[in-house]
Structure 1
Amino acid sequence: MTPHDGSLPQGAEHKHAALSDPPPRPAPEQPSRHAPGPRATAPVETAPTDTAPGPDRARLARRARRVLGFVAVLAAGGIALAVLNSGTRHGLLDPRSADPYGSRAVAELLEDRGVTTRVVTTAREAAEAAGPRTTLLVTDPDRLGSRQRGLIRSAMDLSGGRTVLLAPGSHSLTDLAPGVSSQSATAADTLAPACSLPAAASAGRADTGDDRRYTTDLPRATACYPSDGRPTLLVLPAGTRGDTVLLGSGTILLNESLAQEGNASLALQLLGSRPELVWYMPSLADSDPGSDAETEEDQSLFDLVPAGWSWALLQLFAAAALAALWRARRLGPLVTEKLPVVIRASEATEGRARLYRKAGARDRASTVLRAATRERLAALVGVPASQAHDPVTLVPAVSTRLGDGGHDVTTTLFGPTPSDDAALVALADHLDALEREVRTS
């Protein structure tokens, strides 16, 4: 008869408990030493509430090691980049730099022609080194303060050599080239010489109009490479046998553009007319903060940032993005959750059986019964656990251990789902009998 409490038919619950996945063993009951006598065992025991601090400390230690490892990798990468770039990258228009925006190529070509290059970073050094046998190149005239411009102006008047100013603006032209005004260039294409200057005529088209173009009413000034009617290269006579060259762009000196058009020819002729070249690169240590506080109108805060910082910031942003993706996708290890109570195995089995009975899940119940029986039989007959659910391997091995008991091993272990509760009880009995016979054989 079917019980009135909604459980499986009598026998099915106990067969299911015997043949299903083994439930956890109940915690052993410990008698209290302070109790005066034996106490009744409660059906539900409260689990201990105190937690051991060991796993938490281990998890924190693992997390700290990961963070330290990530920081170490970033530091090692930064040190490696600094070491690799320390000998080859010195900044924009630096004759020691071999990167695309350096000028090492033109310095080596000048050396092959017998011109020695000396790099200086202060106006005083540049003024002392200037002479009739030198070409003084100022890479950033607009960075100079009034005191530095005065020193360079005196050297231009007294040295008798050549002075080349790269893209000077109105900030520096007042002292270094009076009578010349500057405007921003509008075209970046190569320009034709359109003048009688021998160096320009032999060089041909060149990239001189990327930054500045000039206007002047000075007599005997040679104007070349016009852009929209205004020259981007001016040659002004200055002092005894000396001259001043205003070049609207330093593109012709860069490593990446030296081989284009007539850039190399024009650069070598402008800088190689004397046996010595003084390459003056104004530095922050040479600045004069008390003399001039004004800057060009078209300069922004980013123009004052030293070269290379933008690339370093980009790398930091990329590293931060990768770290965020790494941490966001991290699932972490499985966490064992402690149950608030410990339930007896028999109660857990009966509760599961009632759930199967209420849901009419005979398919699930029979699958669990058969799977558990197949695993135990495989261990008894010597079949590997990986092949316990393979009928081709398991059925012959079990059949050899049975007599003529009339068992249909294939149907019992791999048959269809029982059609009703009675068939489910019968299946449980057949599985139990089959296992007992194999154990006793």
Structure 2
Amino acid sequence: MTTEATLPSTSASPTARQVWTRTRGIVLAAVLLLAAAVAIAAVRSGERHGVLDPRAADPYGSRAVAELLADRGVSTRVVTTLDEARAAAGPDTTLLVAVPDLLTHGQQDALHSATADSGGRTVLVAPGGWSVERLAPGVVADPATSLDSALSPDCALPAARRAGSADTGGIRYTVTHPGSDECYPSERLPTLVRVPAASGDGDTVVLGAPDILYNDTLDKQGNASLALQLLGSRPHLVWYLPSLSDATAADPDEQRDLFDLLPSGWLWGTLQLFFAAGLAALWRARRLGPLVPEKLPVAIRASETVEGRARLYRKAGAHDRAANALRSTTRTRLAPLVGVPVAQAHAPEALLPALSAHLHDHGDGQTLHSLLFGPPPGDDAALVSLADQLDALEREVRRS
């Protein structure tokens, strides 16, 4: 009774445990980054719920200023569509546009046409370069924002002089419209601008930051005084909260680029991530320099190496490579035996005549050429037969 020995597995593929050990650091970092992003998004969304909404009592809402205006006889009405905002424009109305940059260019042109000669006041809250030039011609947003929040009025506008210092630091503007009031400058550029209408008693107020309208900061500096004076000059206040669901926002002739929709902070954050990734790549990259020999921790027998490579050849079906290795090694060993330099061992015109002469009657030139330089075998059986024939040829040359 015989027992068949089971050879140990020599697979070069990493196991699941090895893969997990190598990648667990990256996976853990990705999970932590994702969890931090979700947590920050949840906190920020919770903090900013109802931002600039006169009905919201949270820190970034504007319910406090609406109630103070109501105590002074100014009614506040919230609208969310462009048609309602245009219809409400009039000489006895102050129209506040909460987020002008959400309006498309078509909406901005329509809103400016409705308010330009209405005789009322239009208040634009923190308009950027996307909207301010259309809603307030002659005013251009500066790319650099103010680093200071609380600023001094430094202008002749009565409302600003009575309010004193206020948290208007935000977007700065360059003004070319004649007769405009430029207040609360930061590095010589104003953060609050009043542009008078070309005809009538109306005007447009450009406010560089929304801080004076927030519930959380209304009682700071002269914020409450400035907000009440800017919004309480008419008996009616229409608070326009632009909405993406507004039907007038769908303009087939106008397309905004993705970068126009992203805040500038996201672009700088992405650039910082790319910079950090580059530094991490340099840190983890291999050191450049000459190869350094290293002793193996254990001695590997030649038979194991041959067996491992043979299994790889068999798994890949590389009969041509295996046959080429066998023939090349045989030619290298036969060349010194028949008086041919090793450098010419792989040249048929040098090896075959010497080999035929050495074998005398046993050497057939055509057979030897097919055996030592022929085409690769087509299957495993032909490869085994080729190995046996090469072995027999070498034994015969050594014996003769």
TM-score normalised over the length of structure 2: 0.51
The structure 1 residue matched to 2:221, chosen from 261, 279, 285, is 261
Q: Deviations over 1:260-307 (max 9, x none)?
A: 000000000000000000000001112335343336957537989xxx
**Rounded Cα–Cα distance in structure 2 between residues aligned with 1:227 and 1:89:** 27
- State the match for 1:219 in structure 2: 178
Task: Provide closer, same or farther for how the CA distance between residues 161 and 95 of structure 1 changes in structure 2, counting only shifts above 3 A.
Answer: same
**Rounded Cα–Cα distance in structure 2 between residues aligned with 1:254 and 1:230:** 24
User: Highest CA radius of gyration, 1 or 2?
Assistant: 1
The structure 1 residue matched to 2:76, chosen from 71, 96, 117, is 117
Counterpart of 2:245 in 1: which secondary structure? helix
State whether residues 171 and 296 of structure 1, in contact with CA within 8 Å, keep that contact through their aligned partners in structure 2: no
Task: Provide closer, same or farther for how the CA distance between residues 154 and 119 of structure 1 changes in structure 2, counting only shifts above 3 A.
Answer: same
Task: Provide closer, same or farther for how the CA distance between residues 260 and 157 of structure 1 changes in structure 2, counting only shifts above 3 A.
Answer: same
**Rounded Cα–Cα distance in structure 2 between residues aligned with 1:95 and 1:294:** 29
Counterpart of 1:158 in 2: which secondary structure? coil
- State the match for 1:138 in structure 2: 97
Instruction: Give yes or no for the alignment of 1:98 onto 2:57.
Output: yes
State whether residues 180 and 215 of structure 1, in contact with CA within 8 Å, keep that contact through their aligned partners in structure 2: yes
Q: Deviations over 1:356-393 (max 9, x none)?
A: xxxxxxxxxxxxxxxxxxxxxxxxxxxxxxxxxxxxxx
State whether residues 65 and 227 of structure 2, in contact with CA within 8 Å, keep that contact through their aligned partners in structure 1: yes
The structure 2 residue matched to 1:209, chosen from 169, 183, 199, is 169
Counterpart of 1:284 in 2: which secondary structure? coil
**Rounded Cα–Cα distance in structure 2 between residues aligned with 1:164 and 1:258:** 17
**Rounded Cα–Cα distance in structure 2 between residues aligned with 1:291 and 1:228:** 39
**Rounded Cα–Cα distance in structure 2 between residues aligned with 1:97 and 1:273:** 23
Task: Provide closer, same or farther for how the CA distance between residues 284 and 195 of structure 1 changes in structure 2, counting only shifts above 3 A.
Answer: same
State whether residues 124 and 151 of structure 1, in contact with CA within 8 Å, keep that contact through their aligned partners in structure 2: no
Task: Provide closer, same or farther for how the CA distance between residues 284 and 275 of structure 1 changes in structure 2, counting only shifts above 3 A.
Answer: same
What is the deviation of 1:137? Answer: 0.2
Bigger relative contact order, structure 1 or 2, given CA contacts below 8 A and separation 6+? 1
State whether residues 52 and 62 of structure 2, in contact with CA within 8 Å, keep that contact through their aligned partners in structure 1: yes
Q: How many residues align?
A: 218
- State the match for 2:316 in structure 1: none
Q: CA RMSD in A?
A: 2.4
Instruction: Give yes or no for the alignment of 1:245 onto 2:167.
Output: no
Q: Deviations over 1:139-158 (max 9, x none)?
A: 11111012211221112123
- State the match for 2:321 in structure 1: none
What is the deviation of 1:187? Answer: 1.3
**Rounded Cα–Cα distance in structure 1 between residues aligned with 2:214 and 2:203:** 23
- State the match for 1:171 in structure 2: 130
The structure 2 residue matched to 1:231, chosen from 168, 190, 196, is 190
Residue identity in the other structure for 1:255? N
Task: Provide closer, same or farther for how the CA distance between residues 233 and 126 of structure 1 changes in structure 2, counting only shifts above 3 A.
Answer: same
Q: How does 1:276-287 map to 2 (within 5 A)?
A: 276-286=236-246, 287=249
Task: Provide closer, same or farther for how the CA distance between residues 124 and 303 of structure 1 changes in structure 2, counting only shifts above 3 A.
Answer: farther
Task: Provide closer, same or farther for how the CA distance between residues 229 and 95 of structure 1 changes in structure 2, counting only shifts above 3 A.
Answer: same
Q: Deviations over 1:408-441 (max 9, x none)?
A: xxxxxxxxxxxxxxxxxxxxxxxxxxxxxxxxxx
Counterpart of 2:150 in 1: which secondary structure? coil
TM-score normalised over the length of structure 1: 0.47
Q: Deviations over 1:61-117 (max 9, x none)?
A: xxxxxxxxxxxxxxxxxxxxxxxx9xx996110000000000000000000000000
What is the deviation of 1:248? Answer: 0.2
Counterpart of 1:249 in 2: which secondary structure? coil
Task: Provide closer, same or farther for how the CA distance between residues 93 and 219 of structure 1 changes in structure 2, counting only shifts above 3 A.
Answer: same
State whether residues 195 and 223 of structure 1, in contact with CA within 8 Å, keep that contact through their aligned partners in structure 2: yes
Task: Provide closer, same or farther for how the CA distance between residues 162 and 291 of structure 1 changes in structure 2, counting only shifts above 3 A.
Answer: farther
**Percent identity of paired positions between Structure 1 and Structure 2:** 56
Q: Deviations over 1:324-374 (max 9, x none)?
A: xxxxxxxxxxxxxxxxxxxxxxxxxxxxxxxxxxxxxxxxxxxxxxxxxxx
What is the deviation of 1:159? Answer: 1.2
Instruction: Give yes or no for the alignment of 1:292 onto 2:254.
Output: yes
**Rounded Cα–Cα distance in structure 1 between residues aligned with 2:265 and 2:250:** 18
Structure 1 gaps, min length 5: 1-84, 305-441
Q: How does 1:37-436 map to 2 (within 5 A)?
A: 91-183=50-142, 184-210=144-170, 212-238=171-197, 239-286=199-246, 287-294=249-256, 300=262
Residue identity in the other structure for 1:227? S
- Tell me which stretches of 4 or more aligned residues in structure 1 moved more than 6 Å: 301-304
